[in-house]
Structure formats: C-alpha cells, structure tokens
C-alpha cells in the first residue's frame, strides 16, 4: 500500500498459554542448562541471571513487535482511522494496546528487580529460587493479558480481510440506496466479481476493483447501501459508506433507480442525496438515472417526471440516463467522472508548493525577431503547379511496398544498395576474419598459376605410373609385412599380460624370467638372425635395459635398493624405518625399546592420550557426564518435576 500500511503482514497473536510456553521453551533451548554447586558463586549467579535476562528480553521483543505492527490510529490516514473506529470500537482497541504496553514495562521492572537480588545470592539454591520467582511473575503478567491477546488476534484477522484501498489514488466511489445497481456497475467497469442479488444489503462491506483510463490506474469502490434516516441511527454497515464518502478524495457516482424496483420511491432516493450532499463538497458528482431499460423516462408517472426534472436543475451535478443491462450511457458517465477528477487533481497540484518548484526549473524558449521588418508568410505562385507535377510523377517503389507484395517470400537484401565500382561484386562472399586477421591478406596472388602447375605435374606422374603399384609386389616385401603384423599382435598381447600382473612402477618392461621365452619366440618366427645382424649382441641389449630400469627405480623411490655395478653389494637409503634397523649389542630398535616391549609401549601411549582427551576443559552447556551421572538423566521415564533439578 502506498500509504505505508499492509495489514496482511501483521504477525499472528498467540493465546496467553502458547505465548508463555514458546517463550520459556526458547529460554531452555538457547541458554546453558547445567550448573553445579561446587562452582564459584559468581559463576552460579551469572548462570541464573542470564536466564532471567534472556526471558525478559524475549517477552519484551515480542510485545514490542505487537505494538509496532498494529497501526496507531493517530498515525494512519483518517479514512482508516475512522473505519477502524467504526468496526472495532476505537476506545476498546486503544485500551487493549495500552494494556500490552503496560505489561511490557512491568516485565522489564520485574527482571530489573530480580537481577539486583541475584547479585546477592549466596548459594545455588537461593539463586535458583530467585530465578524461578522472576520467571513466574513474568508469566503471571502475561496470563492477565489473555483477553487482550484474544481481542487483538480477532482484530488482526479482520484487518487482513479488509480491501487494500489507497486513499491517495484516483478513485470512483459508488453510492446510493441498497439494490439500485452499484455492484452490477463495478462488475461492468472492472474485473471485480461482487455478488449481485435481487434483495437489499447484499453488499455488507467495502469492495474494490481496478480499471485503466487514459493509461492511468483507477480504483472503483462499491459501498454498502445507505438508508434515509439520521446519522445517529445508522448501523455499522452504513457507517462504512459514510466514512468512505467523507474521507476519500474521489469522483462520486450517485445511483438512482427510476424503476423503483429496489423498493424505495424516487422521492426518498432524492431526499437521501440532499441529506448526504455535504459529504460531496469539493468533489465531482455524477448522478446515474439507472434501469431505463425496465422503465424508460417517458413511461414514468407525471409526478415522478416532474420530480426528476426538478432534480436535474441541481447545480454542479451531471446527470446520465443509464442501464447496466444494455450498457447505455455507462461509458459516457465513466469518462466524464474521470475527466473531472483529473482536472481537479491537476489544479490542486498547481496550487501546491511543488508546482512552483517545477515551474522554476522549466524554461520555454521564445524566438526573438532579428529586426523590425514585418515578414508575412508567402506561398510561391508556382506551388500549386509543383504539387500537381509531384502527384503526376510515378510513385517510387519502396522496400515496404515490396514486402507487402511478396508477403512471406520477402527477403531483405541490403547489398543491392551498395555503391561499388563494379556492381557485380555486391554478391561476392565476404572473407572471414581468423584470429583478428583477414584471410585474404595471406592469399598468394599467383596461387592459381601455381595450382595449375601442380595439377599438370600430378597428371604427368599419373601417366608415367608413379603411383601405380599394379598389384605386383615382391614376395619378400609381402612376407615382411605379414611378419610385422604378427610381431605387433604379440607385443599387444605382452602389454596386456603385464597389466594383468600389475607390475610395480620400477619393474622392467620385459621381466627377466621371460627373457628366454621371448628369445625362443623370436627364434620361432625366424628373427634370430635379424636380431643378431640388426642390433648386435642380444644379451647386451637385455643388460642395458636392466640398467635403465634400476636407475628409474632409484630415481622414483628413495627407499629402494641401490646396486653398485657388478659387485652385487646392496646399500639402503637414509629414509628407512628406524624401528626395524638393528645395531650391535642386544636386539633394540633405534628408539631404545626392545622388540618384545613394543606392543606394551603402544598400549601405554594410547591410554595416556585417552586420558588427555577426557580431561579436556568442558563448558557449561556441554551435556557430558564422565564422572557425575545423575540418576534422573539415565534411568526410567521422566516424571513431573524432574526438570527443577537443573
């Protein structure tokens, strides 16, 4: 809402019992729950003082939020202030909020007094009693507000159901006797779905709908019917209409049923208009002579015609003959009422201070004459002839005309308007940009000549049989290719076998135990002579591969063994397990513990570590009881009163 209040967001007001239970539960959950009598007295006092302060702050915040969210009648728009006074009784509403404010101050005073007493508590028992007394008095204060809390919850529910009426927006306000057609009219003008029935007082509260006129948002308010009697005798339903008429700056639409189907004579309806006319002061007023489809004006009795003719002479009021069924005159009446209200709002803004500030910032430039010579506007004599010639010229066919002619087959071609030296180049493909450079910049201008030379050379080679194998291959070449295929296949099989064995990282690609097998396989394939002839001594190549594997193992693993040449002596790296390296003398590891006592030492180490962890510092909120195990926490079902031990 633009006026600053949204009654639908007011927090639910809990009953007194739920209010107390939720507050105490939050105190139990959010504050420490364990305290022992052997602790210092300052710590015990702080423990219970914290509970008292936390409970008081919780009560204070919730009551303060209640007072803040419920609107104060002095701070809101007079329309809502009077409407709440009509619906809920202004005095009763203010009294309930006042009692809540008093309860808040009393709870603050109780917490302040018991905080002073807790500072002098000399034992856990006395501090606990003071805490219990403080929380009990706070809960008693809230219990006394049971009736006020229930009343405020009813007010909150009713406020949330009120329509969101903006008192400052452009508004059309419908008024008149019950059953004259107000609800039917708001259903016609807006998308509101107000109930329409053929009996009086179908509408018992304010209803609102929205519409657009001249690209502006408008709200239309349907009010309950008003009867013709004194203000003091009107009920709550009628007072809602009176409140809206008195406080909303809107265009008034007063509806008169000339067919008298509403059960009220025309004379009474006119009398009601004159009685509430003071509420229409400084507002545009339109009168609808409604239901002319049932009883046209010409078919009225002479007395009613004369009465309406006298009514039409009222100053400052516009009259319209309308029908909600045939919609005759409805739009004319709506447009006239909206236009009058817009004019009135503009005039009001011009009279205000803001208009002066705007006008001071607006400057309208006025042209100044360069000399005193009078230069009247002159039309050349040949202007008519030029116009005739322009009309006689053939019309230039525009791109829009082509689009309308071709319809879906039209394709916009912007290249046909390009002004090029050679018009045929407009359809050429534009070279792409690659890595920020134009590809055409790297094209050799003699590329076509070079390509022609290459093609001629290829043709000559093809003619001379350079690329023709002719299906004739030497038997030796074919045998070598078949043998190469077999070797590749066996190599793949060996690799797969090595993966299955999951050899360590430093293991040679060809294990020593398979050297003989590999050599045998090569001899079977007839490659023994090739190996000896092509690579030299086969065993030397094997030893060279082993040496490379050892160096790789040494580089990758610091704990691996180092082999010194052919001597076979083995030395270990410095990063070995010291607990297993032996020295001379009795069997000990480097930590000084005998091998048979290693297990016992490990058990002692674990036990000491466990004691250190258990004796670590604990806070007040920790729920660990390693040395003290109260029976009520570890046995049976908890009964009434067991929580008082905390």
231 DSSP 8-state letter: G
- Are 47 and 35 in contact by the 8 Å Cβ rule? The answer is yes
Angle, vertex CA 645, rays to CA 117 and CA 141, nearest 5: 50
pLDDT in the model for residue 204: 65
In tens, the pLDDT along 437-478 reads 877 777 777 888 888 999 999 888 888 877 765 445 555 667
pLDDT in the model for residue 376: 85
- Mention every residue, 6+ apart, whose C-beta is less than 8 A from residue 619: 32
- Mention every residue, 6+ apart, whose C-beta is less than 8 A from residue 489: none
- Mention every residue, 6+ apart, whose C-beta is less than 8 A from residue 571: 561, 562, 564
Two tokens at 273?
């208009």
Sheet strands (E) in 535-586: 562-563, 570-571
The residue with greater pLDDT, 227 or 397, is 397
- Are 206 and 165 in contact by the 8 Å Cβ rule? The answer is yes
Q: What whole-number percentage of the chain has pLDDT above 70?
A: 74
Which of 48-62, 163-177, 189-203 is predicted with the least confidence, judged by mean pLDDT? 189-203
Query: Average per-residue pLDDT in the chain?
Result: 79
* Closest CA relative to residue 208, chosen from 250, 177, 271: 250
Spell out a b/e string for 305-324, using b for 16 or more CB atoms within 10 Å of the CB, else e: eeebeebeeeeebbbbbbbb
pLDDT surpasses 60 at 347: yes
pLDDT surpasses 90 at 29: yes
pLDDT in the model for residue 558: 47
What distance in Å separates the CA atoms of residue 462 and residue 339, rounded to the nearest whole number? 94
pLDDT in the model for residue 427: 83
**Residue labelled with tokens 């006298």:** 310
Which of the four pLDDT bands, split at 50, 70 and 90, describes residue 65?
A: very high
- Label residue 41 exposed, middle or buried (CB < 10 Å: 0-12, 13-18, 19+): middle
In tens, the pLDDT along 235-275 reads 677 778 888 888 888 898 998 888 888 888 888 888 888 88
- Mention every residue, 6+ apart, whose C-beta is less than 8 A from residue 6: 164
What distance in Å separates the CA atoms of residue 98 and residue 5, rounded to the nearest whole number? 20
pLDDT in the model for residue 305: 85
**Of 82-91, 108-117, 170-179, 292-301, highest mean pLDDT:** 108-117
What distance in Å separates the CA atoms of residue 423 and residue 426, rounded to the nearest whole number? 6
What distance in Å separates the CA atoms of residue 213 and residue 207, rounded to the nearest whole number? 20
Two tokens at 508?
């040679």
Q: What is 42-63 written as a DSSP string?
A: HHHHHHHHHHHHHHHHHHHHHH
**Residue labelled with tokens 């180490």:** 605
Domains of the chain: 16-161 (1.20.120.1190), 171-352 (3.40.50.300)
What distance in Å separates the CA atoms of residue 523 and residue 329, rounded to the nearest whole number? 116
Two tokens at 100?
């809540």
What distance in Å separates the CA atoms of residue 550 and residue 536, rounded to the nearest whole number? 22
- Are 244 and 196 in contact by the 8 Å Cβ rule? The answer is no
Helix, strand, coil percentages in the chain from 3-state DSSP, rounded to 5: 55, 5, 40
Q: What is 160-219 written as a DSSP string?
A: HTS----TTS-EEEEEESTTSSHHHHHHHHSS------SSTT---S-EEEEEEETTEEEE
């Amino acid at each position: 809402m633009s006026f600053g209040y949204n009654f639908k967001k007011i927090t639910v007001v809990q009953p007194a019992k739920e209010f107390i239970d939720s507050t105490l539960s939050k105190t139990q959950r959010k504050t420490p729950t364990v305290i022992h009598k052997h602790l210092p007295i300052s710590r015990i006092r702080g423990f219970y003082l914290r509970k008292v302060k936390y409970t008081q702050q919780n009560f204070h915040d919730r009551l303060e939020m209640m007072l803040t969210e419920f609107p104060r009648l002095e701070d809101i728009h007079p329309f809502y202030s009077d409407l709440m006074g009509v619906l809920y009784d202004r005095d009763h509403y203010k009294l309930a909020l006042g009692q809540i404010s008093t309860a808040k101050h009393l709870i603050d005073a109780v917490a302040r007094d018991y905080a002073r007493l807790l500072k002098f508590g000399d034992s856990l028992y006395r501090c606990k009693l003071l805490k219990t007394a403080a929380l009990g008095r706070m809960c008693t204060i809230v219990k006394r507000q049971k009736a006020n809390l229930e009343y405020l919850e009813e007010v909150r529910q009713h406020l949330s159901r009120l329509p969101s009426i903006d008192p400052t927006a452009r508004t059309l306000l419908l008024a008149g006797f019950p059953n004259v057609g107000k609800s039917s009219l708001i259903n016609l003008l807006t998308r509101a779905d107000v109930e329409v029935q053929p009996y009086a007082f179908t509408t018992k509260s304010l209803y609102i709908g929205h519409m657009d006129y001249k690209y502006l948002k408008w709200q239309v308010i349907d009010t309950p019917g008003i009867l013709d009697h004194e203000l003091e005798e009107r009920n709550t339903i009628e007072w809602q209409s009176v409140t809206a008429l008195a406080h909303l700056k809107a265009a008034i639409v007063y509806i008169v049923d000339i067919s008298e189907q509403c059960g009220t004579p025309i004379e009474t309806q006119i009398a009601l208009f004159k009685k509430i006319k003071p509420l229409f002061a400084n507002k545009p007023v339109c009168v609808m002579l409604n239901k002319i489809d049932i009883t046209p004006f010409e078919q009225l009795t002479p007395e009613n015609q004369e009465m309406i003719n006298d009514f039409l002479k009222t100053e400052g009021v516009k009259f319209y003959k309308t029908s909600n069924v045939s919609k005759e005159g409805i739009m004319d009446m709506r447009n006239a009422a909206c236009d009058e209200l817009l004019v009135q709002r503009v005039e009001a803004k011009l009279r205000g201070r803001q208009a002066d500030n705007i006008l001071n910032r607006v400057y309208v430039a006025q042209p100044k004459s360069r000399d005193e010579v009078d230069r009247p506007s002159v039309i050349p004599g040949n202007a008519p002839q030029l116009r005739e010639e322009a009309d006689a010229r053939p019309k230039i066919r525009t791109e829009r005309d082509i689009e309308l002619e071709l319809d879906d087959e039209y394709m916009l071609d912007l290249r046909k308007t390009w002004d090029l030296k050679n018009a045929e180049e407009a359809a050429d493909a534009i070279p792409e940009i690659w890595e920020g450079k134009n590809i055409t910049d790297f094209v050799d201008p003699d590329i076509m000549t070079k390509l022609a030379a290459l093609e001629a050379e290829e043709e000559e080679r093809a003619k001379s049989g350079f690329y023709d194998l002719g299906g004739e291959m030497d038997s030796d070449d074919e045998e070598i290719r078949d043998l190469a295929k077999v070797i590749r296949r066996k190599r793949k099989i060996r690799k797969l076998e090595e993966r299955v064995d999951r050899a360590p990282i430093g293991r040679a690609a060809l294990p020593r135990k398979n050297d003989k097998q590999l050599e045998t396989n090569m001899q079977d394939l007839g490659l023994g002579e090739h190996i000896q002839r092509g690579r030299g001594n086969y065993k030397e190549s094997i030893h060279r591969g082993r040496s490379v594997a050892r160096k790789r193992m040494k580089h990758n693993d610091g704990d691996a063994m180092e082999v010194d040449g052919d001597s076979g002596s083995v030395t270990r790296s410095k990063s070995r397990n010291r607990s297993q390296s032996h020295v001379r003398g009795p069997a000990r590891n480097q930590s000084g513990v005998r091998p048979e006592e290693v297990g016992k030492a490990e058990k002692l180490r674990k036990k000491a570590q466990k004691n250190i962890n258990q004796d670590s510092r604990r806070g007040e909120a920790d729920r660990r009881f390693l040395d003290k195990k109260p029976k009520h926490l570890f046995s049976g079902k908890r009964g009434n009163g067991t929580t008082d031990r905390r």
